[in-house]
C-alpha cells in the first residue's frame, strides 16, 4: 500500500495492483491483458466494499474519501490502435491529451478538442467529464467524436462499447452514458475517436467591441451567415485585457480549413459585420482557446454555465448588472459562459449565484471560493435523476464507483443501498 498525491491537495490510498491481487481470492481470469491489474484492483475493492474512485490527471478531480480505493487507467504513451487512413484512433484512457495530440500530429491529424491543461488532462478524464472548449462549434463535442469505449465495470469485466467505424446502430450506444459519467459508472480504459486532418490554415479575427452588448448582434449575424466559424468566443474587457487580446471587450471568430477558405472567410467577416478586425495567426489563436479552457484551473474560482447560444449575451449582461466585478468569457456559438471569480467581491459572487438560480441556468462550480460553494455537478432535473438511478442500478448495482461523491449527491443519495 502506498500513499500518493492524487487530486489537488488531497491524498488517498492508492492500492498498488500487486497488493490488490493478493487480496483476491480467485485467480485473475483472462490472459495477460494490460488491464488485468486494474480489473483486479476493482474486483478487490468491490469485494472489500470500498468505494472505487477513478482518477485521471487530477486536473479538476474531486476530493476522495479516505476509504476509497483510487484506480487509474494505465498511463500508456502509445495508442492501442491508430488507423490514419480511416481517420480513427484508439487511445488508452490514461494517455494525456497532449500525448494524443503529438501522436496524431506526426501523421498530420488532430483530435479537435480543446481542454484545460492538456499535459495533465487524460483521455479518460476528458470523456468522463464530457467537457470541452471552443471548437465544438464546428468540430462537434466529445459526443460527436467518440465512436467507441472499452470499460471495466464493477464486476471487473472488460467490455467494449461502440466500435471503430463512424456509423453504427447495433444495440444500445452505452458510450453515451459514459460521457460525463465522472467515474460513477465504470472505469474507462480505452477510447476510440474519429479524428481529422490538421487544417492547412487556422486563424482568427478579433473584433473590438465598445461593449459586450454589441456582440449579440454581431454573433447572430455571423452565426446566421453562410460562413462557418470553427469557434466564436466572447471576452469581456477584463479578460481581453488580461489576455492581451484587446483593450476592451472583444469577439474572436476562428476559422480552419483550406487557406483559400479561411482567408476568404476572414475577409468576409469584416464586410458582413461592417467592422475592422485584427487577424490572429495559428499560435495566438490556439493560445486564446487554451486560455479559455484553462480558466477552469487553479484556485481562482470558476463557474461554467450552459445556455442556448442565443441567450449568451443576455446572461453576460445580466451578470454584469448584478455582479459588476465578475470577469467573463463565453463560447458564444455553443452557449457556454465562463465566469472568473478571482477578483470578484464576495457580494458579487453571491449575487451571481442568485441570478443563475433565478434563471435556472445549468452550471458547474469546480471549487469553493469565499461566497460560493463548490457545485462540481450540475443540478439535474427530476427526470434525469430518475433515469440515472435506473442506469446506475443496471450498470453498478452495488454502487462501487464514486460512492458518496458528486454524483451520488446530485442524483439523490440513498444510504439504504440501491437507488429506488
Partner 1 sequence: MISSDLINQIAHITGPDAVVSDADERRVYEADAFTLVRRRPGLIVLPGSAEQVAAIVRLCNEFDTPFVPRGAGTGLAGGALTRDDAVMISLNRMRAIRRIDLRNRIAEVEAGVINQRLTRAVESSGLHFAPDPSSQQACTIGGNVATNAGGPHTLKYGVTVDHVLGVEFVDSAGGLRRVGGEADEFHGPDLTGFVVGCEGTFGIVTAAIVRLTRLPEAVRTMLAVFDTLDDATHTVRDVIAAGIVPAAMEMMDHGVLTAVEAAYQVGFPQDAAAVLIIEVDGPSSGIERATRDVLNICNANRARTVRVAKDDAERALLWKSRKRAAGALGRLTTSYCTQDGVVPRSELPDLIREIGEVAVRHGLRIANLVHAGDGNIHPNIMFDERDPDEVRRALSASCEILRSCIRRGGTVTGEHGIGVEKIEFLEMQFSPAEIGLMLRVRDMLNPRRLCNPDKVFPDGKGCWEVRFPGKQAPV
Ligand X SMILES: Cc1cc2nc3c(=O)[nH]c(=O)nc-3n(C[C@H](O)[C@H](O)[C@H](O)COP(=O)(O)OP(=O)(O)OC[C@H]3O[C@@H](n4cnc5c(N)ncnc54)[C@H](O)[C@@H]3O)c2cc1C
Q: Is the CB of residue 208 less than 8 Å from the CB of residue 252?
A: no
Nearer to ligand X, 149 or 262 (CB): 149
Size of the site for partner 1 (CB under 8 A): 86
Closest contact distance (angstroms) between CB of 208 and ligand X is: 25
381 binds partner 1 (CB under 8 A): yes
Binders of partner 1 among residues 240 to 269 (CB under 8 A) are 257-258, 260-265, 267-268
Among 224, 274, 415, 417, binds partner 1 (CB under 8 A): 224
Q: Is the CB of residue 197 less than 8 Å from the CB of residue 255?
A: no
Q: State the binding partner of 325 from ligand X, partner 1, none, CB within 5 to 8 A by kind.
A: none
Q: Is the CB of residue 123 less than 8 Å from the CB of residue 95?
A: yes
Nearer to ligand X, 47 or 290 (CB): 290
Q: State the binding partner of 88 from ligand X, partner 1, none, CB within 5 to 8 A by kind.
A: partner 1
For binding to ligand X (CB under 6 A), which residues are involved?
A: 54-61, 73, 93, 115-116, 120-122, 124-126, 128-129, 131-133, 182-183, 187-188, 293, 296, 304, 338, 364, 366, 376
Helices (H), ranges, 193-253: 214-223, 237-242
Closest contact distance (angstroms) between CB of 217 and ligand X is: 26
Closest contact distance (angstroms) between CB of 362 and partner 1 is: 6
204 binds partner 1 (CB under 8 A): no
By three-state DSSP, how is residue 255 classified?
strand
Nearer to ligand X, 128 or 372 (CB): 128
* Distances, alpha carbon 20 to alpha carbons 10, 69, 401, in Å: 22, 10, 17
**In b/e form, how buried is each residue of 273-304, taking b as 16+ CB within 10 angstroms?**
beeebeebeeebbbebbbbbbbbbbeebbbbb
* Distances, alpha carbon 102 to alpha carbons 56, 75, 282, 287, in Å: 19, 15, 17, 17
Cβ contacts of 274 within 8 Å, gap of 6 or more: none
231 binds partner 1 (CB under 8 A): no
Nearer to partner 1, 106 or 165 (CB): 165
Closest contact distance (angstroms) between CB of 415 and partner 1 is: 21
Q: Which three cell numbers stand for residue 195?
A: 479524428
Amino acid at each position: 500500500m502506498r500513499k500518493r498525491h492524487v487530486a489537488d491537495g488531497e491524498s488517498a490510498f492508492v492500492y498498488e495492483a500487486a497488493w490488490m491481487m493478493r487480496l483476491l481470492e480467485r485467480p485473475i481470469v483472462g490472459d495477460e491483458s494490460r488491464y488485468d491489474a486494474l480489473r483486479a484492483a476493482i474486483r478487490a475493492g468491490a469485494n472489500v466494499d470500498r468505494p472505487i474512485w477513478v482518477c485521471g490527471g487530477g486536473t479538476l478531480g474531486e476530493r476522495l474519501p479516505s476509504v476509497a480505493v483510487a484506480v487509474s487507467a494505465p498511463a500508456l504513451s502509445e495508442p492501442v490502435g491508430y488507423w490514419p487512413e480511416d481517420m480513427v484512433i484508439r487511445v488508452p484512457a490514461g494517455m494525456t491529451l497532449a500525448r494524443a495530440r503529438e501522436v496524431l500530429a506526426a501523421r498530420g491529424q488532430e483530435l479537435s478538442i480543446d481542454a484545460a491543461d492538456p499535459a495533465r488532462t487524460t483521455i479518460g478524464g476528458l470523456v468522463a467529464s464530457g467537457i470541452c472548449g471552443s471548437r465544438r462549434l464546428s468540430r462537434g463535442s466529445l459526443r460527436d467524436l467518440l465512436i467507441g469505449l472499452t470499460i471495466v465495470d464493477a464486476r471487473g469485466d472488460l467490455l467494449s462499447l461502440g466500435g471503430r467505424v463512424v456509423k453504427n446502430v447495433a444495440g444500445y450506444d452505452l458510450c453515451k452514458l459514459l460521457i460525463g459519467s465522472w467515474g460513477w459508472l465504470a472505469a474507462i480504459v480505452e477510447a476510440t475517436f474519429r479524428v481529422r486532418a490538421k487544417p492547412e490554415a487556422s486563424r482568427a479575427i478579433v473584433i473590438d467591441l465598445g461593449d459586450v452588448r454589441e456582440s449579440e448582434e454581431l454573433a447572430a449575424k455571423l452565426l446566421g451567415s453562410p460562413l462557418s466559424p470553427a469557434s466564436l468566443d466572447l471576452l469581456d474587457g477584463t479578460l481581453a485585457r488580461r489576455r492581451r487580446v484587446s483593450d476592451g471587450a472583444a469577439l474572436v471568430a476562428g476559422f480552419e480549413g483550406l487557406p483559400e477558405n479561411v482567408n476568404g472567410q476572414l475577409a468576409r467577416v469584416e464586410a458582413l459585420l461592417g467592422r475592422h478586425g485584427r487577424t490572429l495567426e495559428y499560435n495566438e489563436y490556439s493560445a486564446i482557446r487554451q486560455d479559455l479552457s484553462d480558466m477552469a484551473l487553479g484556485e481562482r474560482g470558476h463557474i461554467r454555465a450552459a445556455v442556448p447560444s442565443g441567450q449568451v449575451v443576455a446572461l453576460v449582461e445580466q451578470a454584469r448588472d448584478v455582479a459588476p466585478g465578475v470577469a467573463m468569457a463565453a463560447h458564444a456559438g455553443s452557449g457556454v459562459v465562463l465566469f472568473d471569480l478571482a477578483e470578484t467581491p464576495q457580494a458579487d459572487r453571491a449575487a451571481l449565484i442568485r441570478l443563475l438560480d433565478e434563471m435556472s441556468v445549468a452550471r458547474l462550480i469546480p471549487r469553493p471560493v469565499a461566497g460560493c460553494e463548490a457545485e462540481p455537478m450540475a443540478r439535474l432535473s427530476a427526470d434525469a435523476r430518475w433515469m440515472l438511478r435506473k442506469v446506475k442500478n443496471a450498470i453498478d448495482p452495488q454502487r462501487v464507483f464514486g460512492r458518496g461523491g458528486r454524483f451520488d449527491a446530485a442524483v439523490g443519495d440513498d444510504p439504504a443501498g440501491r437507488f429506488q
